[in-house]
Amino acid sequence: MENIILQFLSTLLAWLKSLVSTKRKAATTTGTAAILAAAAAFVGPWEGERTEAYLDSVASPPVWTVCYGETRGVKAGNRYSSAECSAMLMEALDEFRDRLITCIPSLPQQPEGVQVALVSWSYNVGTGAACSSMLAKRANSGRWRDACNELPR
């Protein structure tokens, strides 16, 4: 458990440093793969990895869940390796990023840290909620600082 916490804190620190770096790069220079890898490193520790399907009773109604919070197509008894869980998370984050770009078209031009934060957030709340949010409205009006200030809500 201590290793997971240290890994998470190390990843978080590196991500925060990238936000304040004078050498920040937009996705056009870092690429989608870098955004997804950073998002997975950020999301993974928060979600936690469970390689055997479990019934998430926090959801209403309860839903079968596996790996890093994946629910699509999951059934009782499903099992995955850590590598499969990581691949599943990357695929899901890619889909969430694509859907988020449909409602916030200028997202790919934002710094990596902004993209990682918003992809992580949309993975958590869902793209339906994300796209109808005040954050999306502010981002689409070019008010990115105000948009990012919506994240804690």
3-class secondary-structure state, position 104: coil
**What pLDDT is recorded for position 26?**
46
3-class secondary-structure state, position 26: strand
For 65-117, how does the pLDDT look when each residue is reduced to its tens digit (9 = 90+)?
Answer: 999 999 999 999 999 999 999 999 999 999 999 999 999 999 999 999 999 99
> In which region does residue 48 sit, left (phi positive, over 0), alpha (psi from -120 to 50) or beta (all else)?
left
- In the 8-state DSSP scheme, what is residue 133? S
Cα 98 from Cα 10, distance rounded (Å):
27
Q: 14 falls in which pLDDT band (50, 70, 90)?
A: low
In the chain, the largest separation of any two C-alpha atoms, in whole Å, equals 48
**What pLDDT is recorded for position 106?**
97
Cα 105 from Cα 85, distance rounded (Å):
29
pTM: predicted TM-score of the whole model, two decimal places: 0.75
